[in-house]
Amino acid sequence: MAPVYAGGAMALAETSGRREGWRWRVFSIGSIVGVIWGLAYIAVPTLSNIFLVKPVTLLPIPWIDFTPYLKAVLPAAPLAVVTDLWALLMGFVLPFWVVVGSFVGQIGRTLVVNPILYRMGVLRRWTPGMTYIPTTIANNLDFWISFSIGLGVVVASAGILSVVKAFRGRKAEGLRFVPPKARGDIRIGLAFAIWAASTLGFVALVHVLVPEFPLWMIAFFGFVFTPTISYITARMVGLTGSSAGVTFPFLRESMFYLSGYKGVAIWFAPVPMFNHGGLAEVFKQLELVRTKFVSYVKMAALSLGIMLVCSFLFWSLIWKLGPIPSAAYPYVHRVWPYFATMQAMWASSTLPGGASLIQGVIDPKIILTGLGVGGLTFSLFSALGLPISLFYGILAGAMTWMPTAVPSFIGGMLGRYYFLKKFGREKWRAYAPILLAGYACGLGLVGMVSVATTLIAKSISTVVF
């Protein structure tokens, strides 16, 4: 995804030159698409909420839900399609086999595996009439949380193995990376010192807030897990363009549960369990647009101070616009119940009597089944010489609950079999990221104008003179 953000920045930079290049033209096309789609997708429901009790929605946000209508044909199958064009345009940019794999994994889980599991009596919590989110929650509690743990172990192991192989290959070839001059690299010693001081501050803060929680576990998250997973993720993004293979599902939740701690405070504490590997992509963007790394650090420090003040101001205004969740915030209205249910389930596991709930959700047999299925799939792909990105895509699609696979697959097929032939491989690979960046810019502008208009309108009250 680094070329998306870098391409957008370079397209905007062209406007300051004497002559506009192809990047600006492609960016403008994407922006127009984003503005047109944003008017129907964001502006109409946002602005109509000013005058009406219930906002007018032309396109269902965030997805079109087919689940209740398929209850007789496909029981326990949560089927929906997101209405944001971002998912379709992502299919232009992501590796083709990752897109295909995600489609196969998500559709196979939804249309094939779930109905079979329901008829076998595994999915017990689902009842006819449930919509997408309740169906997803019920299926996760019955099967997919445990199965995803097994799959996640396989995916993470395969990702780590590929990183180790690539590292050994570079070492055997005697390849050494020489950083470009004038890139503004920060000295390694200084970077480590800043990171160590920051992590130590997190550990001390969590220990003060939750003194009953084991200190060694907080230190493990900060000083062992975070740097390890960050390095592996950065390598994985560089090798495959995706970090899908380096997650350990429910590791944080499992360690909290097994720590013996009783209470809920630790679930809301700022435990230093981070994955900074994605920042490697940010630094690659800076390198592509020839921006010094130290300039980014200065910008982050400046924006932090502004954000701390402005975020409280704007969030307080947004909070007063209407109840959250409500019909005024359709995305929150639909999606928050999923996260709230999952968070409440895990947080209750460390309360007296809460262990029985987790024991009813986490099934060792299903975990081993996921481990076996993932291992056999990886072995089959390795034996047949199939693209490893297809393997990551299938397993990531099987573990993903957001219904983005169908539009991304359509975008991937259009990009590979139409636009690639129309523009040529090199041109299309250059156009696609900038087109996506332009769409995001256009959609974002419409969103900002709509929200600003709503804030102004809601802050004005009519007084009888």
pLDDT score of 52: 79
Alpha carbon distance 390, 246 (integer Å): 15
Matching residue, tokens 């957008």: 8
Sign of the four-CA dihedral 161, 164, 165, 166: positive
| Own/partner long-range contacts of 55-64 (Cβ < 8 Å, ≥24 apart) | 55/327, 55/328, 55/330, 57/330, 59/83, 60/330, 61/330, 61/331, 61/334, 62/330, 62/331, 62/334, 62/335, 63/132, 63/334, 63/403
pLDDT score of 17: 62
* pLDDT lower than 70: segments of the chain: 1-19, 163, 166-167, 169-180, 236, 238-247, 461-465
pTM recorded for the entire structure: 0.82
Is residue 136 domain-resident? yes
Per-residue pLDDT tens over the stretch 147-200:
988 888 887 787 777 767 766 766 655 555 666 677 777 788 888 999 999 999
Measured between its terminal Cα atoms, the distance across the chain in Å is 56
Angle subtended at Cα 375 by Cα 372 and Cα 378, rounded to the nearest 5 degrees: 150
pLDDT score of 461: 57
pLDDT score of 183: 72
The type of residue at 324 is I
The type of residue at 3 is P
Q: What are phi and psi of 458, to 5 degrees?
A: -75, -25
pLDDT score of 282: 82
Is residue 465 domain-resident? no
pLDDT score of 174: 55
pLDDT score of 243: 56
Asked whether the beta carbons of 156 and 245 are under 8 A apart, the reply is yes
Asked whether the beta carbons of 337 and 133 are under 8 A apart, the reply is yes
Q: Is 179 helix (H, G, I), strand (E, B) or coil?
A: coil
Which tokens go with 263? 């209470």
Residue 404's domain comprises: 2-459
Is residue 206 domain-resident? yes
Alpha carbon distance 216, 288 (integer Å): 40
Is residue 464 domain-resident? no
The DSSP code for 18 is S
Q: b/e map of 210-241 (b: 16 or more CB within 10 Å)?
A: beebeeebbbbbbbebbbebbebbbbbbebbb
Is residue 75 domain-resident? yes
pLDDT score of 153: 84
The DSSP code for 406 is H
pLDDT score of 9: 66
Alpha carbon distance 219, 110 (integer Å): 40
State how many domains the chain has.
1
pLDDT score of 91: 92
Q: How far is CA 429 from CA 95, 196, 236, 361, 420, in A?
A: 11, 40, 21, 44, 8
Sign of the four-CA dihedral 199, 205, 211, 213: negative
Sign of the four-CA dihedral 407, 409, 410, 414: positive
Q: What are phi and psi of 230, to 5 degrees?
A: -65, -45
